[in-house]
């Protein structure tokens, strides 16, 4: 009996050892649901004159078996009123475009910066294009379908005409003709507004999130002394979409400082052997580039004495004659070329 018990105990020890070797103690098995590729979470559509542009991010993976090797874009085209059999029902997509990302198998690399893009030139005009994306990894595992991405492809609104830009002080005022577009002789009634795009030192950006309802915009997010360009698009409304049409011609603008500086003050003079020595209190403005000094004789016309801007608040007028009376005034000029009012006038008899 004792021999039999020892034999059973030995078998249990050997089984436990084999179980420990087989299973290990590193970690629990990875759930299969975590190995399946995640579907793209942000499928973006853009209606263009050439077709419907679809783009989305493709997740990267260090493990070759988990890297995405195949992309299927399921598609369908519906009337703008929806599926005739069931307008509110989600469409059932059966056709698809197939793309391979496997090395050595793809003739064209549609990826840039981890984002996949494809222009569907078959998307018909005046129909709603619907898409859904499925990803497959190197081990053949398929993701769940992405959410349905849908957008109408409408005849684009015409380009706004006569766009004009008026540059001001820290602002640019834009105005253009209202778009009265028509398709096949029928006036479009779904022009929802206008989108304004600006190019400048901060890159290219859309200035308004919602379409403007009037054909004008005051841009007060500019800086003086910088160059900007503007373009305007009319938008057509469809459900919750505002689809931009053809762009206007680009126009340029250069806002600049139009505020004149404060004038210099306390102008005073004294006769010296060299001429009449002038001194004044500078303008308090920080953007003053320099000063101009003007002189005249009694009954004469004012004339500027300095050929270039003075950067100091003193000046010696050497072109004077003894025992003659002269009148002086000074003006400040800022970096934008704005001129201040003149200082108070001063008269002096030259008695060297």
Question: At 269, which CATH number?
Answer: 2.60.40.10
Q: Is residue 338 situated within a structural domain? A: yes
Neighbour-count burial of 194, counting CB atoms closer than 10 A to its CB (0-12 exposed, 13-18 middle, 19+ buried): buried
Residue 124: CB atoms within 10 A of its CB come to: 11
Evaluate whether 129 touches 216 at the Cβ level (below 8 Å).
no
Q: Could you please report the per-residue DSSP string of 95-112? A: EEEEEE-STTT-SS--EE
Of 120, 153, 186, which marks where a domain is finished? Answer: 153
Residue 23, φ and ψ in degrees, nearest 5: -85, -35
Q: Is residue 23 situated within a structural domain? A: no
Question: How many domains is the chain partitioned into structurally?
Answer: 3
Does residue 84 or residue 211 have the better pLDDT?
211
Judgement on whether residues 40 and 137 belong to the same structural domain of the protein: yes
Q: Is residue 121 situated within a structural domain? A: yes
pLDDT in tens, 266-321: 999 999 999 999 999 999 999 999 999 999 999 999 999 999 999 999 999 999 99
Judgement on whether residues 185 and 81 belong to the same structural domain of the protein: no
Judgement on whether residues 125 and 85 belong to the same structural domain of the protein: yes
Judgement on whether residues 238 and 278 belong to the same structural domain of the protein: no
pLDDT in tens, 40-71: 888 999 888 789 999 999 888 788 888 899 99
Q: Is residue 238 situated within a structural domain? A: yes
pLDDT in tens, 140-192: 999 999 999 998 888 888 899 999 999 999 999 999 999 875 555 555 567 89
Distant-in-sequence, close-in-space partners of 110: CB < 8 Å, separation ≥ 6? 99, 116, 117, 118
Q: Which two tokens stand for residue 138?
A: 């190197």
Cα 338–chain centre separation: 32
Provide the mean pLDDT of the chain. Answer: 86
Q: Is residue 159 situated within a structural domain? A: no
Q: Is residue 70 situated within a structural domain? A: yes
Distant-in-sequence, close-in-space partners of 265: CB < 8 Å, separation ≥ 6? 280, 281, 343, 344
SS3 54: strand
Q: Which two tokens stand for residue 48?
A: 């263009």
Of 253, 273, 290, which marks where a domain is finished? Answer: 253
Judgement on whether residues 135 and 190 belong to the same structural domain of the protein: no
Judgement on whether residues 144 and 53 belong to the same structural domain of the protein: yes
pLDDT at 126: 86
Instruction: Give 10's DSSP letter.
Output: H
Where residue 35 falls among pLDDT bands split at 50, 70, 90? confident
Of 118, 153, 188, which marks where a domain is finished? Answer: 153
Between the alpha carbon of residue 182 and those of residues 52, 187, 192, 251, 329, the distances in Å are: 22, 4, 14, 25, 63
Evaluate whether 340 touches 332 at the Cβ level (below 8 Å).
yes
pTM over the 0.85 mark: no
Q: Which domain holds residue 239?
A: 164-253
Query: Which of 232, 152, 223 minimizes the C-alpha distance to 198?
Result: 232
Bridging pattern class, strands 186-187 and 182-183: antiparallel
Evaluate whether 81 touches 89 at the Cβ level (below 8 Å).
no
């Amino acid at each position: 009996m004792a021999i039999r018990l020892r034999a059973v105990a030995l078998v249990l020890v050997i089984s436990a050892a084999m179980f420990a070797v087989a299973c290990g103690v590193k970690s629990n098995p990875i759930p299969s649901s975590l190995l399946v590729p995640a579907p793209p979470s942000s499928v973006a559509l853009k209606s263009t004159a050439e077709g419907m542009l679809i783009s989305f991010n493709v997740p990267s993976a260090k493990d070759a078996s988990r890297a995405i090797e195949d992309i299927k874009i399921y598609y369908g085209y519906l009337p703008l009123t929806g599926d005739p059999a069931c307008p509110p029902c989600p469409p059932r997509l059966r056709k698809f475009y197939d793309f391979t990302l496997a090395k050595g198998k793809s003739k064209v690399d549609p990826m840039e910066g981890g984002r996949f893009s494809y222009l569907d030139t078959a998307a018909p005009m005046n129909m709603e294009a619907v898409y859904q994306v499925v990803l497959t990894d190197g081990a053949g595992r398929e993701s769940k379908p992405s959410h349905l991405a849908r957008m109408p492809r409408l005849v684009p609104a015409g380009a706004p005409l006569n766009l004009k830009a008026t540059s001001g002080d820290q602002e640019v005022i834009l105005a253009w003709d209202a778009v009265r577009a028509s398709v096949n002789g029928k006036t479009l009634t779904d022009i929802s507004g206008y989108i304004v795009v600006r190019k400048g030192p901060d890159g290219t950006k859309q200035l308004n999130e919602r379409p403007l309802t009037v054909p004008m915009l005051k841009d007060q997010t500019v800086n003086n002394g910088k160059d900007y360009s503007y373009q305007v698009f009319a938008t057509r409304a469809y459900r919750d979409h505002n689809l931009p049409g053809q762009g206007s011609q680009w126009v340029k603008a250069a806002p600049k400082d139009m505020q004149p500086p404060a004038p210099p003050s306390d102008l005073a003079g004294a006769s010296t052997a060299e001429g009449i020595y002038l001194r004044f209190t500078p303008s308090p403005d920080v953007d003053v580039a320099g000063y101009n000094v003007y002189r005249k004789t009694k009954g004469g016309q004012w004339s500027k004495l300095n050929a270039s801007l003075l950067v100091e608040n003193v000046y010696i007028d050497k072109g004077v004659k003894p025992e003659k009376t002269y009148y002086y005034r000074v003006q400040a000029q800022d970096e934008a070329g704005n001129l201040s009012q003149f200082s108070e006038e001063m008269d002096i008899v030259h008695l060297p």
